[in-house]
Amino acid sequence: MLDERKIKVLCAVIDSYLREAEPVGSRTISKEYNLGVSSATIRNEMSDLEELGYLSKPHTSAGRIPSDKAYRFYVNNILKENKIQIDIEKKEKIKRVLTRESKELDDLIQNSAKILSAITSYTALALSPQIKKMKLKHIQLVPLDGREILIILVGDSGIVKNTIFRLDQDISPEQVERISNFFNHKLKGLTISDIRKTVTVEVFREFYEYKNLLDSIIPIIINSLEDNDNVEVYLDGVTKIFDFPEYKDMEKAKSFISFIEDKDQLLNVLLNNTLEEGIEITIGEENIYDTIKDCSLITTTYKLGDMIIGKIGVIGPTRMDYLMVISSLKLFSDNLSEILEMLLKR
């Protein structure tokens, strides 16, 4: 347990290092921070903090830098003390831009990543909505020429899927309408997993005379929805990593970019935990891939109504302006959720 003086010294070291990207010495803390103690006392406290694992000393410098443990302590206290201030004017400005520029769901997510990167100066990433978590809003079967039927599926995210299906038997427009109405009544509000678990028994009990037909249509409905469940990761500001002194080493920077552009690896990182409301912060060694063990990943979720459906966040060096990033992500989480509701009402 750190006492109050050690906490003040540690926070001062972190603050100085975040700003200057240079190892911090006791004289710097003594001159720039009014801690009410001598430089010698600060030096002793920094030595203790090093022994406790909160600071480390680079070989080429007499100063010290924060460890992953220090950053973890720092961000936990930021979140615990609820220091996050929401700039309402900034929030409304971002909302206006996103609303003006985003006519479709994909535009909204992509533009969010673009603006987030511009505001924070870090690489931003946004996870598209996960359709399996969404509910079916509407189903319509439309008879076409011959034995073909157009199946129209609308999710509560606003995503529409059209599939043309060829029947093996004749069926009248009236029968198609009857089945369509039944589907729309029974499947509305269900997720893919709900449909898999419950719909077959319900359908076959009431429409047994169409068993062979429904045996074919139900898998098409499910497969059509699952086809839309290809999760996309939108990136912006990938090359911003070159702006940080930690990535002056070109090979290190290239490794980062190679990692960030690998969709499978990135999805593993983003989906490492289930979608839970709130800010999620992974620092340095806490990351599951060696390539980003010098990075911090900060994400938050966005919702459709009461349902969490996606993530947005930033990734950059562990020497990150955590408070600014957390505040920015809070703005985007609120805005995305609000604009999603607006898009669906259009």
> What residue ranges do the domains of the chain occupy?
4-66, 88-130+232-345, 132-227
Sign of CA dihedral 317, 322, 324, 329: positive
What are φ and ψ of residue 292, in 5° steps?
-115, 25
Residue type, 41: T
Specify whether the CB–CB gap between 86 and 326 falls below 8 A: no
Beta-carbon contacts of residue 324 (< 8 Å; ≥ 6 apart): 120
The answer to whether the 4-66 and 132-227 domains have the same CATH topology is: no
Top CATH class, 4-66: mainly alpha
Rounded to 10 degrees, what is the CA torsion of 20, 24, 30, 33? Answer: 40
Alpha-carbon distance 191 to 132, whole Å? 6
CA distance linking residue 282 with residue 280, whole number of Å: 7
Classified by CATH at the fold level, domain 132-227 comes out as: Enolase-like; domain 1 (3.30.390)
What pLDDT sits at residue 191?
74
**Residue labelled with tokens 């086809």:** 227
Q: What is the predicted pLDDT for the residue at 130? A: 62
332-to-2, 122, 144, 285 alpha-carbon distances in Å: 34, 15, 44, 27
Q: What is the pLDDT of residues 15-71, one digit of tens each?
A: 999 999 999 999 999 999 999 999 999 999 999 999 999 999 987 677 999 999 999
Q: Residue 106 contacts by C-beta under 8 Å, 6 or more apart in sequence? A: 128, 232
What is the radius of gyration, based on Cα positions, of the chain? Answer: 26
pLDDT tens-place values along the chain, 346 residues long: 799 999 999 999 999 999 999 999 999 999 999 999 999 999 999 999 999 999 999 876 779 999 999 999 999 988 777 677 778 899 999 999 998 888 777 888 899 999 999 999 999 999 877 655 567 778 888 887 767 888 877 766 555 567 777 777 777 888 888 888 877 877 787 776 677 666 656 665 666 666 667 777 777 777 766 655 567 889 999 999 999 999 999 999 999 999 999 988 888 888 765 556 688 999 999 999 999 999 999 999 888 777 677 889 999 999 999 999 999 999 999 898 888 777 655 5
Q: Could you read off the pLDDT of 264-309 as tens digits, one per residue?
A: 888 888 876 555 668 899 999 999 999 999 999 999 988 877 767 7
Cα–Cα nearest to 257, from 244, 243, 271, 240: 240
Helices (H), the chain: 4-20, 26-32, 39-51, 68-80, 88-101, 105-120, 173-187, 192-194, 200-206, 211-227, 250-260, 263-270, 322-345
As a whole number of angstroms, the distance between CA 245 and CA 255 comes to: 15
Cα–Cα distance between 12 and 30 in angstroms, integer? 10
- Domain at 88-130+232-345: CATH code: 3.30.450.40
CB 78, CB 322: distance < 8 Å: yes
Which amino acid is present at 146? G
